[in-house]
Structure 1
Amino acid sequence: MRFKLLAVLTAAASLAAAILITTGAGKADAVPPTIPLQISNNSGRADPVYIYNLGTNLSTGQQGWADAAGTFHPWPAGGNPPTPAPDASIPGPANGQSITIQMPKFSGRVYFSYGQKLVFKLTTGGLVQPAVQNPSDPNRDIVFNWTEYTLNDSGIWINSTQVDMFSAPYAVGVQQADGATKNTGHLKPGGYTGFFNALRSQPGGWANLIQTKSDGTVLRALAPTYGVEIGALPANVMDDYVNRVFSKYSSETLTVTPFADQPNTKYYGRVAGNVMNFTSSSGAVVTSFQKPDASSIFGCHKLLDAPNDLVRGPISRTLCAGYNRSTLLVNPNQPDTSSANFYLDAVTNHYARKIHAQMADGKAYAFAFDDVGNHESLVHDGNPQRAYITLDPFN
């Protein structure tokens, strides 16, 4: 059996961590060791719900899980082959009910599953998390999802995410010190069904992203990154767009201004010999990109790797957003932060397009760098009084 070993900080959670480093919002003494997390079940389902709070203890760097009281438990040593992890599940609320647990200072995920507990295992390298693109993954036929969050001395960053899959609908929120709340992640009425219907009707293999049980019950739609990986989506699905981009910028210049607060920091891209070279204002080449394939685009990795630096990473993030949203041909100045130009080309990330179309506020983490231009489903507060996860209806 092939397991997927994930770092505790996934792409979106890593972005939240990066945000907290640069903002420094909130006072160090404003956030207590734990805050309440209220989980409300508005799903309309009769299945029992199981909650898991898994992540990294920010005070020690240890990986583990938190119980309902917010007490941290480090994972024991794993094995090869992987060994069962301790049962970290917390009984969730019944339909129409809410529970409140304590959220500690973590960077990690809150999972929730319907009907069955999730299967977690431990290797010598850490926690093995569900990888349902693998048909033999033990969680493949379980309906589940997760939110990602960072809670530290500077506050909370919590998001809904579809970077890996679109599945059980939910929203996240936070209560501020003045009692006001802000939230994100809710679908429009009918948005769950609307998304799957739209994906089924999209030609070109996109319907193959949908996973069902043997009786036809919908489980989820895989992100196109995994669709390409398992052959459900053609590996050349983005080639036509990439070829047009490289053709355009062989005779024109692509200008990237990666930092909104640094408008004078610009990089200039030109294609030569099937390589896009970026130069600084002085004319020096600072980084180069080969033609990205669909996997690199959808995953924002490989040929579009984004290291945590001040040059290649920010340029790559901008390119990744431009390819996924298909804005690189209509705007030579990137990032294009207005959604008016997003997803208009016939060759685009239709998974992301259809998710954003069904979100009540238009915001989502449909790919790793969906935060470029602030289009991500993330809420932050420097002095949070309470966090929320709302399990929404499957309609």
Structure 2
Amino acid sequence: MLTSLKHRLLTAASAAALLGALLTFGSAPAADAAVPATIPLKITNSSGRGDPVYVYTLGTSLTTGQQGWADASGVFHAWPAGGNPPIPAPDASIPGPAAGQSKTVRIPKLSGRIYFSYGQKLDFRLTTGGLVQPAVQNPSDPNRNILFNWSEYTLNDSGLWLNSTQVDMFSAPYAVGVQRADGSVSTTGRLKPGGYTGVFNALRAQPGGWGGLVQTRSDGTVLRALSPLYGVETGALPASVMNDYIDRVWQKYATTTLTVTPFGDQPDTKYFGRVSGGVMTFTNGSGAVVTSFQKPDASSVFGCHRLLDAPNDQVRGPISRTLCAGFNRSTLLTNPNQPDTSSANFYQDAVTNHYARIVHDRTADGKAYAFAFDDVGHHESLVHDGNPQQAYLTLDPLT
């Protein structure tokens, strides 16, 4: 079934979820100085493409909860009321830099996304619940045949968090960066040479239906690879693709204890899981039951939701995050102490999240956000600074 409208809305809660997820495994460093209301974002077009680029800064004010967009000077504009059916949103596009050029805009304090598209403006709509995001897993989505991508960011009084994300799809490549007060620049998200086409080629070569994630335009242009979650939801990837591994995990922990230490800075906080009657139940150090999980399916694993839901609490959510990472990286059978944070141990089973494996293999620094909790163990493609001087978004070649 296609993703519902509910999952395509950018609400105050969902916009803040990025920041909440990033802080789960440790508090944010205190800002070195007051973070200004806006900071510069330097956009560099190194794509080599001749078609025009359009940029959008969309998000939710964490202060007022208003959804809206920012213009090139960083002024925030609240969206007008939406409709049912959804109505066209105001044109929030900013003309991007031409090939080989750079352009600096300003981004305000909010949590949301920085979209960019090639050759055509994106089609955004407003419903009564807020902004409808593009959902290209839906064949009828008006953005289906547009080459585009986005970065997620949060800017607040504690600083800037800016990532490159492949949680929903892998598409037009880009790198993100932040300049610190001392002038140094931290970057992530860049692919290895040949990495862009390498991802699609590797997916097509992977047995088991993984090539079904690749979407092309009628003219043959490769547009993106859907995440395995959307692949399963749309039937592009078999729903049984993770069953063998999930079955083996449930069998192992019927006779073995799974120890989860979810907080890196709290090594004494441990939970202990065993499967009985088809349910994995976790207890704390005193033997009290704290939460339990039904046997998950591929959608739950790839989406880190449903049967592996991760509420923003201090017990079930952190345990679920750890399980989700272990399933996607296929480390639960080889290590009963989770999380396993050594990348050398990831994706070694024949049944694994091959999409995540392939994307990580082709990033220059090995970092990616290939599934929702890829930040477990700090393997995410994220830059952060408490006193950001400038942010960077570099559109890379599609090679």
Query: Structure 1 length normalisation: TM-score?
Result: 0.97
Select the residue among 9, 32, 36 that pairs with 1:6: 9
> Match for residue 392 of structure 1?
396
In 2 relative to 1, CA 180–123 (structure 1 residues): closer, same or farther, beyond 3 Å?
A: same
Determine which of 359, 383, 386 is the counterpart of 2:387.
383
SS across alignment from 1:277: strand
Contact 1:20 1:154 in 2 (8 A): no
Q: How does 1:101-140 map to 2 (within 5 A)?
A: 101-140=105-144
RMSD across aligned positions (CA): 1.6
Residue 218 of structure 2 is aligned to residue 214 of structure 1: yes
**Does residue 300 of structure 2 align to residue 293 of structure 1?**
no
Work out whether residues 300 and 317 of structure 1, in 8 Å CA contact, stay in contact via their aligned partners in 2: yes
> Superposition pairs for residues 18-57 of structure 1, below 5 Å?
18-19=21-22, 23-27=27-31, 29-57=33-61
Give the Cα separation in 1 of the matches to 2:205 and 2:23: 40
Give the secondary structure class of the aligned counterpart of 1:379: strand
1:69 aligns with 2:70: no
Q: Structure 1: how far apart are the matches of 2:193 and 2:85?
A: 44
Shift of 1:28: 7.8
CA contact 1:370–1:376 (8 Å) conserved in 2: yes
Query: Residues 221-246 of structure 1, C-alpha deviation per residue, up to 9 Å, x if partnerless?
Result: 00000000000111111110011001
2:310 match: 306
How far apart, CA to CA, are the structure 2 residues paired with 1:119 and 1:371?
31
C-alpha distance in 2 between matches for 1:372 and 1:331: 15
2:298 partner amino acid: A
Q: Which residue of 1 aligns with 2:255?
A: 251
Q: Tell me which residue corresponds to 1:352.
A: 356
2:189 alignment counterpart: 185
1:147-186, aligned counterparts within 5 Å? 147-186=151-190
| CA shift in 2, pair 1:11/1:55, >3 Å | closer
| Distance (whole Å) between structure 2 residues aligned to residue 175 and residue 279 of structure 1 | 44
- Is contact 1:37-1:387 (8 Å) kept? yes
Any conservation in 2 of the 1:9–1:108 contact (CA below 8 Å)?
Answer: no
Q: Identify the match of residue 242 of structure 2 among 238, 242, 245.
A: 238
Residue 317 of structure 2 corresponds to residue 319 of structure 1: no
Q: Given that residues 162 and 367 in structure 1 are in contact (C-alpha distance below 8 angstroms), is that contact kept between their aligned partners in structure 2?
A: yes
SS at match of 2:10: coil
Check whether the contact 2:242–2:297 (CA below 8 A) recurs between aligned residues: yes
1:360–1:10: structure 2 CA closer, same or farther, 3 Å change rule? farther
**8 Å CA contact 2:16, 2:62 repeated in 1:** no
Does the Cα contact within 8 Å between 1:84 and 1:120 map onto a contact in 2?
A: yes
Cα deviation code 1:181-202 (max 9, x no counterpart): 0000000011001111101100
Matched, 1:202 2:214: no
CA–CA distance in structure 1, aligned partners of residues 62 and 312 of structure 2? 19
For 2:145, the equivalent position in structure 1 comes to 141
What is aligned with 2:98?
Answer: 94
Gaps of 5+ in 1: none
- Give 1:61 deviation, angstroms: 1.5
Structure 1 residue 30: Cα displacement: 2.0
Do 2:9 and 2:129's aligned partners in 1 also have CA atoms closer than 8 Å? Answer: no
Mark the runs of 5 or more structure 2 residues left unpaired by the alignment: none
* Equivalent residue letter for 2:195: G
- Shift, 1:23, TM fit: 2.5
CA contact (8 A) 1:296 1:302 kept: yes
Detail structure 1 runs of 4+ shifted over 6 Å in the superposition. 9-13
**Distance apart, 1:13 and its partner CA:** 6.4
Specify which of 273, 288, 304 is matched with residue 284 of structure 1.
288
State the percentage of identical aligned residues.
75
Cα distance in structure 2, aligned partners of 1:10 and 1:226: 22
Say which SS state the counterpart of residue 207 (structure 1) adopts. helix
Give the deviation of 1:161 after TM superposition.
Answer: 0.1
Taking the aligned partners of 1:394 and 1:312, their CA distance within structure 2 comes to 40
- Normalising by structure 2, we get a TM-score of 0.96
CA-CA distance at 1:216 after TM superposition = 1.7
Q: Could you tell me how far 1:215 is from its partner in structure 2?
A: 2.0
Return the alpha-carbon distance in structure 1 between the equivalents of residues 115 and 387 of structure 2: 24
Partner of residue 83, structure 2: 79
Letter aligned with residue 289 of structure 1: F
Q: Is the 8 A contact 2:79 2:89 kept in 1?
A: yes
Residues 172 and 185 in structure 1, CA contact (< 8 A), matched pair in contact too: yes
Determine the C-alpha separation between the residues in 2 that align with 1:182 and 1:320.
28
Q: Per-residue deviation at 1:6?
A: 2.7
Q: Distance in 2 between matches of 1:271 and 1:14?
A: 30
